[in-house]
A and B are shown apart, each in its own frame.
Chain A
Amino acid sequence: MKVSLNWLKEYVNVSLSPSDLAHRLTMAGSEVKGTQVIGDKWEGITVGQITAINPHPNADRLRLVTLDLGTEQPTVVCGAPNLRLGDRVAFASVGAQLIDGHSGQVFRLKSAKIRGVVSSGMACSERELGISDSHEGILILPAEAPVGIPLADYLGDVIFDLDVTPNRPDCLSVVGIAREVAALTGQRVHLSEASYEESAVPVDQQISIEIAAPELCPRYSASLITGVTVAESPGWLQQRLLKYGMRPINNIVDVTNYVMLEYGQPLHAFDYQQIKGKKIIVRRAAGGETITTLDGVERLLSEDMLVIADEEGAVAVAGVMGGACSEVTDETASILLEAANFSPASIHHTGNTLRLPSEARMRFERGIRPELALPALKRATQLIVELAGGKADKGLADIYPGRLDHKPILLSTDKLKKVLGVEFSLDQIVAALTALGFDCRTEASTLEVWVTAPYWRSDIHQDVDLIEEVARITGYDKIPATLLGQPLPRQNPEPILSLKQKVRHCLIGYGFQEVITYSLTSLEMLNRLLPESRPLEPPPLRMANPMTAEQEYLRPSLRANLLATLSSNRKHEAVGVRLFELGKVYLPQPNDLPEEPEILCGLLSGSRQERSWHGGDSAFDFYDAKGVIEGLLDKLGVEVNFEKGSDASLHPSKQVAITIAGNRLGTIGELHPKVVAAFDIADAVCLFEINLSQLLPFTAAHKMFQPVPRFPAVERDIALVVDDDVTHYRVQSIIRGFPLVAGVTIFDVYSGKQVPTGKKSLAYRITFQPLTHTLTDDEVDKIQQQILDKLSQELGATLRRQAP
C-alpha cells in the first residue's frame, strides 16, 4: 500500500526523516519496500500564473505566454494546446533539471531561441516533472496553488510503498499508518469527527434497509445526499488519487476512493433515483440471477454470492463491484452512499469466482471492523456536500446485526516475560498499548492489566497478541539473544536419514553427480519408459490444477526425469555421465495420502573413463551398474540375491532383480533400446534402482568382527569348461559350500575356438583359509578334487587346465 507523507502529516506530526520513518515502520511490522521522493530535484521550478497569451510572430502552433512568478513576469514560447489565461502552472527557470518528455532522459533547461524568439524557461508537463507518464499537455495546478512558491513546497511529497501484513487491514489507510507513526514516535493522531449540515428530512424516510443474509453482512449503513452536482474533482483531490495510481472519475466516485484510502473503509455511491422502491435489500443472489457490472460485463451470479438489491433486482455485487444501472452519472442529483461490512470469506469467494480484484475487495477480505463504517460514512458525506453541493438527509441509516464488541484481555507482566524473555514494567506495557489506542485498566495492580483493543483493530484476540504489540512498539531490538538453557531433549534419530546420507556419500565416492529433478512429470514422459504403449498401472497421482502438462502427474519413479536430465547432459558431456537421484516417489493409496518411499536411482552412459592421454575408451555396461550396487550394499553390510528380472523398461536379457528374503528391492539393467531412443540418447544407458525404505530394515544389524587370519591362505586357480547356460552364480555357490573356502573370484570368462561349441570356459581363483594350522599341499589337493568332483556331477563341468 502507498502512503503519502504529506497526507500522513495531516494527522500526525512527523519529525523523523523519511528514511528513519521508513525504518521504524519496517521494524514494527509494516515493511517499507520502497520510498519515492517527489520534488527533490525541483530546484528552480515555481508555481506561476498565466497572465497573457499571445500568438508567436513566426509560428502558428506556438504561442507566447507571459507568467506571473510573484517577483518576475517572464514570457516564454509554449507549444502546449491546453493553456488558458489565469491557469496556474509549474514554471521551470533556466538551469532546472527536467526529464525529456520523449526520450525520458534527464536534462538541464537552457535558454533557447525558438523561431526567432528567445525563450528562457518553460511550463512543464507531468512527465517532465517526473510525477507521471502524462505528456499530453502541461500540468495545470489547482487554482489554490500559491503563485511564486517553489513547486516542491506545494506538490513535493514522499510516497512510501508499504507491505501491510494480512492481519492488519486497519493499516491499509492513511489514518491507520498515522496511528502507527504516532505510537512509534510518541505523538498523537489528530482526527476530528466529520460534521456537515443536515436537512430536516430523516434519512429513514427516504430509504429502508433490510439485511436478509446477516451471516454475510454484519453491518450496512448509508447516507443520502440530495441536490448534488456531479463534476470533476478539484485538483488537490485528483492529485492525491493519482499519487496512489487511481484514475479520477468524478467528485462523487473520487470521494469514495479518497475516503477508502484515508480511513480504510470501502464505500459505494448509488444514483438514488435508480434504486427502485427506495429499498435496499442485502441478500444472497438467486440461482441464475445476472447483473451488468460497472465495467459493462454481464455476470452470472450464484446463491453463495451476496448482492445489494432494490425491489427489482441486484444493483451491486456486495463489496466487489457496483452495477451499471445504479452508477453515478453526470445527471445524478441524489446520492445514496453505502458504508457496509461484509464477511471476508464471502467477498473472497465471490471476487475469486468473478475474477474481480479490487482495492475494496482486498480490505473486506482481510476483515476490517464494522465499527469503521460510520466514521468513514460521515467523512465521505461531509466531503461530498463540500465538493458536490447538496444537502445530507438527517441522520444515517444503519443496520448492525453482527455487532461483536472487543472483550477485555488480561495481561500480566509474568506472562510477558515468559514469552519475550525480558522484563517489562506494567507502566511500560501500559504506555506502549495506550499509544496504540488500547484501553488499559490496571485497577491498582502493578502486575496485571485489563486491556481492550480499539475499535479499528481486528487482530487482537488473546494475551500473546498484546505481547507482540508491546514488543514491536518498544522494538524487537530490546529483546536479548539467549541460547536455549533447557536440558537437551531425548534424540531419536530416524535411521532412514543416516542411510540416505551414507548412500549419497558412497555414490559421490564412485564419481557420481547427484541431481534433483522435479517431482512432477507428464504422462508423455512416463509413457516414454514403456517400449510397448499401454496404460500405466497403477495410474500415477494426478494434480487437479496442473500449471502445465509437463507438471501434471506426481512421479511414480525417478526414471523419466532422470533420463531427461541424462539426455540433456549427454549433449554437452563428451565423455561418460554418471548421475543419481535420491528422492521420493508417490504411490497412490486408496482414500489416503500416497506412500512416499525413498528411492535411489542411478544412470551410467557413455565412456567409462574420462578421455585422456592414458587412453581407454570403453563404454559403461551392465556390470558397471551392478558393481556400484554390489559395492554400495557391501558398504551397508547387506547381502542380497540377484534374480531374473522382468522390468519392461529394461533390456529383456540384460537385467537382474535385487531381492532380499523374497522382497524385490530394486533392479539393475541396461535400458531397453526403444526407451533409450525415446529419450533421444545415442548410447546404451545402464540403470540401477533400489528402494531404500525397503532396504532399511536389512541394514540395521551390526556386522560382527571377523578375526584377521593367523595362518597363510592358499590360492588355487582352476579353469572349467561348462555348458553355455551354466551360470557363474551356480558354480560359485557350489565352490563356496566347501570347508576352508574363504573366497571365490572369477577372473576369466571365455567362449570361442579354444572350447567346443555350446560350451564356455570359466576361470576361478579359490582362496583356502585355514583357521587352526598351515595347510599342506596334500590337504588342498584333496579339497580341490572334491570340488571338481561335485562340479562335474552337478554341472557336468570338466577341468580345462590347472594353473601351477
Chain B
Amino acid sequence: MLEQLEELKLNALKELGAITGIKELGLWRVCYLGKKSELTRILRGLAALPVEERKLSGAQANRVKADLEATLSQKEQALREAQLVVAAEKGRMDVTLPGRPFPVGHLHPITQTIYEVCDIFASLGFQVVEGPEVEWDYYNFEALNIPEEHPARDTMSTSWVDFKTGDGRRPMLLRTHTTSLTARVVESRQPPIRVVEPGKVYRYEASDATHTPMFHQIDGFAVDRGITMADLKGVLYEFARRFFGEERKVRFRCDYFPFVEPGVEMAIECLVCGGSGCRLCGNTGWIEILGAGMTHPKVLQRGGIDPEVYTSFAFGMGIDRLPMLRYGIDDIRLFYSNDTRFLSQF
C-alpha cells in the first residue's frame, strides 16, 4: 500500500511537472485529487484495513494528498505569473497613434476675460451686476452729468433706436458705456455699495482694426463713508497687479470724465516695448487701461445719495483691449468674426 502511494505520488508529480497550461491543471486535479481519483479511492478503502495498517497507510495517504495539493498550488501560482509575463509581453502597438478624440470646448476669450476680471474684483468685495443694453438717454448721459450738447457726447458717437416720444424727442439708445448701469445702481441701491458692471456697449463707428460697433466694458462703483481716492488707487493697482503681473509698472494721471471729479486715467507700462516707446503705445511707453475718479457729487445727488455723508469712486475699462494686450492680438474684429481657428486658441 505504501509503495502504491509512493508510486502514485511520483507519477502525479511527474505529470504535474510536465503541465504548461492552467486548464490542464484542472484535469490533473480531477485525475489525482478528484472524487474518482485513485487517491480518493485509497482513502475511502482505508476503513476496510486492519487498525495498524489503517493508521500507517492513512497517515501516508493524507501526507501524499497534502503534498500534491501544495505542489498544485505552487504550480498554479507559477503558471499564472508566467501567463501575466506573457500577457505583458504580448499586444505590441503603435503608441504614437493619436488617442480617440474627446471634443474640447472653449469659452470665447471675451467671456474668459470678463470672468477673470470679475473674479479679481469679487475677491475685493465687489458684486457683479448686469443691466440693460438698450437704455434711456437719461441713464447713459443725463444722470452722469452729460447734458445735451455736452462735448463729451461727441466723443461717444451714439447709435439711437428708432423710437420717438410724443414731443418728437429720441430718448432711446444703445448704451455707449457700462457706466449707464452705475446711474441705475446709484438710484436703486443704498450705501454701502460695491459693484462691478460688465457688458456689451455700442458706438456709432465704422469697423477697423481698433474699432467695432459693439464691444465690451466693465465699470466699477463703490460708495461708503470714508472712501477716498487713495482707496481707488489701491483697488486699481491691485487689479493691475493681478491681471498684468507683479512687475508691470502702473501710472495714475489726471484726466477728465464728466461723472467723476477728480478724474483719473490709469495706464500700464507698454507690454511690447517696456516703456521705451513703440507703435503699440504711440511712442509714449504707456498703454491706457482705464478711466476712473471720485464719483461727481451731482451724480450721487441725482441718485439720492448725500455726497456730504458718503464718498464714492468709479472706474471703467474696455474689456476687449485686455486679451488683445495679453495675447498680442492686433485686430479687435477677430473677436466678432468668430472664426473657430481663432477662438479655439484660447
Contacts and interface: CB of A to CB of B under 8 A. Distances in A.
Interface of A: 26-29, 31, 33-34, 165-168, 344-345, 348-349, 365-366, 417-422, 462, 464-465, 467-468, 471-472, 476-477, 479-489, 491-494, 496-497, 501, 504-505, 507-520, 541-547, 551, 554, 565, 568-569, 572-573, 577-579, 583-584, 586, 593-594, 596, 609-610, 612-614
A497 B197 CA distance: 12
B133 interface: yes
A577 B340 contact: yes
Interface in B232-249: 233-235, 237-238
Nearest to A608: B103
Contact of B261 (A468, A477, A613): A468
Contacts of A543: 159-162, 174
Nearest to B288: A31
Given A344-B149, A418-B311, A519 B214 contact: yes
B50 interface: no
B133 A519 contact: yes
Nearest to A169: B151
Nearest to B224: A486
Interface in B134-165: 134-136, 148-152, 155, 159-163
A212 to B, nearest CB: 21
Contacts of B335: 516
A464 B297 contact: yes
B213 A544 contact: no
Given A489-B191, A493-B127, 9 more contacts: A31-B255, A33-B282, A464-B297, A481-B233, A484-B222, A544-B162, A551-B213, A572-B339, A614-B100
Nearest to A345: B149
B214 A166 contact: no
Contacts of B344: 513
Contacts of B105: 507-514, 578
B128 A486 contact: no
Nearest to B222: A484
A505 B127 CA distance: 21
Contacts of A517: 336, 338
Contact of B151 (A166, A505, A541): A166
14 contacts: A28-B254, A31-B253, A166-B150, A468-B261, A476-B254, A481-B237, A484-B125, A484-B231, A486-B224, A508-B106, A513-B340, A515-B338, A586-B134, A613-B98
Contacts of B111: 504, 514, 516
B213 A547 contact: yes
A471 B229 contact: yes
A594 B134 contact: yes
3 A-B pairs with least C-beta separation: A511-B103, A421-B228, A421-B230
Nearest to B203: A547
A510 B159 CA distance: 37
B226 A486 contact: yes
B188 to A, nearest CB: 12
A168 B129 CA distance: 34
B162 A516 contact: no
A345 B213 CA distance: 27
A337 B13 CA distance: 132
Given A569-B339, A573-B340, A34 B282 contact: yes
Contact of B148 (A345, A365, A501): A345
Contacts of A519: 133, 174, 200, 202, 214
A467 B106 contact: no
Interface string B197-211: 000101011100000
B278 interface: no
Contact of A542 (B127, B155, B162, B228): B162
Interface string B308-346: 000100000000000000000000000111111101100
Contacts of A488: 125, 194
A578 B194 contact: no
A776 to B, nearest CB: 33
A544 B160 contact: yes
Given A168-B256, A515-B338, A612-B100, A593 B151 contact: no
A418 B149 CA distance: 33
A547 B161 contact: no
Contact of A593 (B98, B132, B284): B132
A593 B137 CA distance: 11
Contact of A471 (B101, B262, B282): B262
B264 A166 contact: no
A544 B222 CA distance: 35
A333 to B, nearest CB: 39
B128 A493 contact: yes
B241 to A, nearest CB: 10
Contacts of A613: 97-98
A508 B214 CA distance: 24
A568 B342 CA distance: 13
Contact of B254 (A418, A468, A569): A468
B80 interface: no
Nearest to A366: B151
Contacts of B228: 417-422, 482
Contacts of B296: 464
Nearest to B94: A613
Contacts of A568: 337-339
A546 B159 CA distance: 7
Contacts of B27: none
Residue among A27, A464, A572, A579 having the largest count of chain B Cβ atoms under 10 Å: A464
A497 B130 contact: yes
B108 interface: yes
A484 B284 CA distance: 31
A498 B155 CA distance: 35
Nearest to B200: A519
Residue among B151, B227, B252 having the largest count of chain A Cβ atoms under 10 Å: B151
B192 A487 contact: yes
Nearest to A515: B338
A542 B134 CA distance: 12
Contacts of B97: 613
Contacts of A165: 255-256
A517 to B, nearest CB: 6
Residue among A27, A167, A462 having the largest count of chain B Cβ atoms under 10 Å: A167
B336 A518 contact: yes
A476 B264 contact: yes
Contacts of B98: 612-613
Contacts of A515: 108, 338, 343
A494 B128 contact: yes
Nearest to B166: A591
A475 B147 CA distance: 30
B162 A421 contact: no
Contacts of A486: 192, 224-227
Given A464-B262, A497-B128, A612-B98, A483 B234 contact: yes
A139 B68 CA distance: 121
Contact of B192 (A26, A482, A489, A494): A489
Contact of B214 (A476, A509, A520, A546): A520
Contact of A520 (B213, B252, B339): B213
Contacts of A484: 124-125, 194, 222, 224, 227, 231, 234-235
Contacts of A573: 340
A583 B338 CA distance: 15
A203 to B, nearest CB: 33
B229 A479 contact: yes
A577 to B, nearest CB: 7
Contact of A419 (B233, B254, B294): B294
Contacts of B120: none
A511 B192 contact: no
A518 B159 CA distance: 14
A467 B174 CA distance: 34
A476 B125 contact: no
Nearest to A573: B340
B263 A468 contact: yes
Contact of B161 (A349, A417, A487, A544): A544
B244 to A, nearest CB: 15
A436 B181 CA distance: 36
